[in-house]
Chains A and B, each alone.
Chain A
Amino acid sequence: MRARDLAELAGRNLREAFLRNSLTTIGISVGVASLVAMLSLGVGLQDLASDRLARTGLFDAIFVTPRSAAAAYRGSVQPSSSPAQPPRPLDENARQEIRSLPNVVEVYPDIRFPIEIHYAGDSYATVAAGVTPSARKDGAFDGMKGSFFSGADADETILQIDLARQLSNQPETLLGKDLTLRYAERQPLPADPADGNAASDGFSIVPKEKNLRIVGIVETEPAGGIGSLGRGRLLLPLELAETLRSAQANDLRDLLRDSPKHHTYESLTVRVNDPPKVKAVEDSIKVMGFTAFSLLDASKSLSLVFTVFDLFLGIFGSLALVVASLGIVNTLVMAILERRREIGILKALGASDRDVRRLFFVEAGAMGSLGGLLGICIGWLIGHAINFGTNVYLKGRNLPTISVTAVPWWMVAAAIVFSIAVSLAAGIYPASRAASLDPVEALRYE
C-alpha cells in the first residue's frame, strides 16, 4: 500500500475511536511534557550557571605573569642552569603581542591601588580598581543603581554599596555627586645636571588628587578575572586608572632591575572569545615565555556535573513517557480486538501482512508525533510557568529576574524523535499481532 493511502486509512481509523485515541495521545503528550520540562529545567540551570560563571571572567580568562614572578610566588628559585636567559618581562610589547593572538578579545593589567576619598569633609581609606568596558556584561553590574561609565577614560566612578553606605546613609543620593580621590602617583625623577644622563633611573612617589563624579552603585564587588578576585570598592574606567600612573607594588620590582624606566606589569588578564579556545591561547602564551593559568579544567568538571544532572532529569522525565507508551500498546491491542474482522477483510482483499503491520505502525507513530508536538507545547508552557514563578519570588526579594528553563531547538527535535520512537516501539507488539492474524479466523470473528 502506498504511503498516502496508508496515512488516509490510519487517519480514518484514528478518527473512528476518537476519544480513546485522543486520551492515549494526551497520555503521550503528558509524558513528553514531563520530559521536556525536566530537560528544559536542567538545560536552563546549566545555561544560567554557565552564564553567571562566564560573567565572573573565570572561564574565558587567562591569568598571565612573568615566569620569575610565578616562581617567586611558589617560593622556588630560578634554575641555576639558565642564568644567561633572564625571564621575559611582562611589558607593553608583550601585552601587544598577546593581544595579536587569535581569539584574544582583550588584554588588560590588574590595576589596584590604595586611595583616600574626600567627600563631604570626611576622609575614607579604601582600594581603587580599574574596570574594562567589557566588564559591563559582568553579573555584578546587573541591577546596578545609576549607570556604567560613559567612556573608557571618563572622570567617573562606580562605588561598591558598602563604601557608598559609609559615605552616605542614603547611598542613592550620591549619584551625580563629586568626590575627590587622593592617591600616590609615580613620577620619574628629574635629570641630574651633575650626571651626564638625560634622566634619572629612579622615581618619586607624590600625592595627587583627582575629582570624580559618582555615576553608579553596585551591590556586589565585581571580580576581574582569576588574578583580581575581590577587587576594589571604588571602580574607575581602566584607561583612566592607567593614566593616573598610580604607584603599584610592581614599581619596586622595576626599580631593582637593570632598567627601571622600562615599566612592566605584575600580571595581565587575557580574555578569549570562547571558553573552549582558552587552552590554545594559554599554550601560545606559555610558548612566548610567560606563565599562564586558567580555570578550564574547573569548567570541564562543571560541564560533566551538568551532563550527569541532565541525564538523570532525562531518565526521570522519560519514565512518564514509557508509562504513556503502555497506553499505546493498550489502545492498539484493543483496536485489534475491535477490528479483527476488518483486518480479515483487508487481507481477503489483498492486504499483505506488511500492509497491516505498517497500518498499525502509522497509527502508533501518528499518536506519538501528535502527542510529542502537544507535549513540547505543554512542556514549554510549564517551563514558562516555572520561570514566571521563580521571577515573582525573586522580585519579591528585590533580586534581578533570571531564566531557569530553556527549550533549545535540539530538545524540540529530540522530543519529537523520542516520542515517535517510543510510540513505534510500543506499536511493535500490536502491529506484529495484527499482521499475523489468520484471515480465515479473523473473518469468522463476530
Chain B
Amino acid sequence: MENGNFMAIRMDRVARHYQMGDALVRAVDDVSLEIRAGQFVALLGSSGSGKSTLLNLMAGLDRPTSGAIFARGRNLAEMNSEELARHRSHTTGIVFQAFNLLPRMTLEENVELPLRLAEVDREERAARVHEAIERVRLTARLSHRPSELSGGEQQRTALARALVNRPSILLADEPTGNLDSATGDEIMRLLREINETGMTIVMVTHEHPRAERFAHRIIVMSDGKILSDGGAA
C-alpha cells in the first residue's frame, strides 16, 4: 500500500509504448519499482534502454501506456494536464543534460521562472531565488545570461531552478553529460549535498563509476525493462 511518508515514487507495471511506422517501440515495458523518500537513485543503461522515458514518466512530462505511477499518494496516470502541471511545479524539480536555460533571461530570472509559474508572491520570490542560488554557490553571477556562464555554472543554475520551488523529488537526466570530469564531480557533490537534506533524487546516467560513488541505489535498464536493481538502501 502506498505510504506518502516513506514512499516518494511507486511504479506499478508501467509501460510506455510508441508506434513508429509499423513497429511498436516498447520504451518502458512492464516496470515496477518503489523509491523511498530520501533515496539517491541512479538509473543506468545504454542509449535507448528506456531510462530517460522512465524519468519523464516520473516527472509527469509523459503518460504511461499502461500501469500506475504513484507520487504523494496520487496516480499520475489518472491526472489531467492541469494536475500534472501542478505535480511538475510542486512535487518535482528537473535538471537536463542540455541545461535548458532560457537564453534571454539572466541567471536570476531563470531561477525565478518556476516561482512565477507556481504563482508564488513577489515578496517571497526574491528570498527563495537567493536561497536557491546560494545553495549552488552562484551569488556572484546573478545578472549574467546563460551564454556568459560556463557549462558547470549553467548546470548549477539549472539545479537552483529545479530546487527553488522546494520539491520533494529531484529528477536529473544526465546532469553531467555535457560537463568535463571535474565539473561533473562538482555537480555530483552538489547533488549529494542536496540529497543529504532529505530530498529524493533520481538521476539518469550512463556513467557507472560515478553512479556507484554517489548514489545509494543503482537500477540498470535494458530494452525498457529493469535488468538489475541494487535494492533499497
Contacts and interface: CB of A to CB of B under 8 A. Distances in A.
B100 A352 contact: no
A16 interface: yes
B119 A2 contact: yes
B82 to A, nearest CB: 5
B81 A350 contact: no
Nearest to B52: A440
A308 interface: no
Contact of A440 (B62, B89, B105): B62
A12 interface: yes
B227 interface: no
Given A1-B117, A5-B116, A9-B116, A350 B100 contact: no
Contacts of A342: 102
A322 interface: no
Interface residues of B, number: 25
A335 to B, nearest CB: 13
B126 interface: no
Contact of A350 (B56, B89, B96, B105): B89
Interface string B73-110: 00000000110011011100010100010101100000
Interface string A339-359: 001101111111111110000
B148 to A, nearest CB: 18
Given A1-B116, A355-B85, A348 B59 contact: yes
B165 interface: yes
A356 to B, nearest CB: 10
A439 interface: yes
Contacts of A352: 81-82, 85-86
Nearest to A435: B81
Given A1-B116, A16-B104, A347 B61 contact: yes
B82 A353 contact: yes
Contact of A348 (B81, B90, B100, B118): B100
Given A12-B104, A342-B102, A349 B56 contact: no
B225 interface: no
A350 B85 contact: yes
B85 A347 contact: yes
A443 interface: yes
Given A2-B119, A346-B117, A353 B85 contact: yes
Interface size class of A (residues with CB under 8 A): 20 to 34
Interface in B119-163: 119, 161
B82 A349 contact: no
A12 B116 CA distance: 14
B85 A341 contact: no
Nearest to A5: B116
A348 B94 contact: yes
Nearest to B113: A349
Kindly name the residue among B94, B104, B114, B117 whose own CB sees the greatest number of chain A CB atoms within 10 A: B117
Given A12-B104, A16-B104, A350 B114 contact: yes
A196 to B, nearest CB: 105
Contact of B88 (A1, A16, A350, A440): A350
B53 to A, nearest CB: 8
A440 B116 contact: no
Nearest to A352: B85
Nearest to A15: B104
Contacts of B114: 349-350
A122 to B, nearest CB: 91
Kindly name the residue among B56, B88, B161 whose own CB sees the greatest number of chain A CB atoms within 10 A: B88
Contacts of B102: 342, 345
A443 B53 CA distance: 13
Given A348-B61, A348-B94, A349-B88, A354 B82 contact: yes
Contacts of B62: 439-440
12 contacts: A5-B116, A16-B104, A342-B102, A347-B88, A348-B94, A348-B100, A350-B89, A350-B90, A352-B86, A353-B81, A355-B85, A443-B100
Interface of B: 56, 59, 61-62, 81-82, 85-86, 88-90, 94, 96, 100, 102, 104-105, 113-114, 116-119, 161, 165
Given A1-B117, A12-B104, A354-B82, 14 more contacts: A5-B116, A16-B104, A342-B102, A346-B117, A348-B94, A349-B88, A349-B117, A350-B85, A350-B86, A350-B88, A352-B86, A439-B62, A440-B62, A443-B61
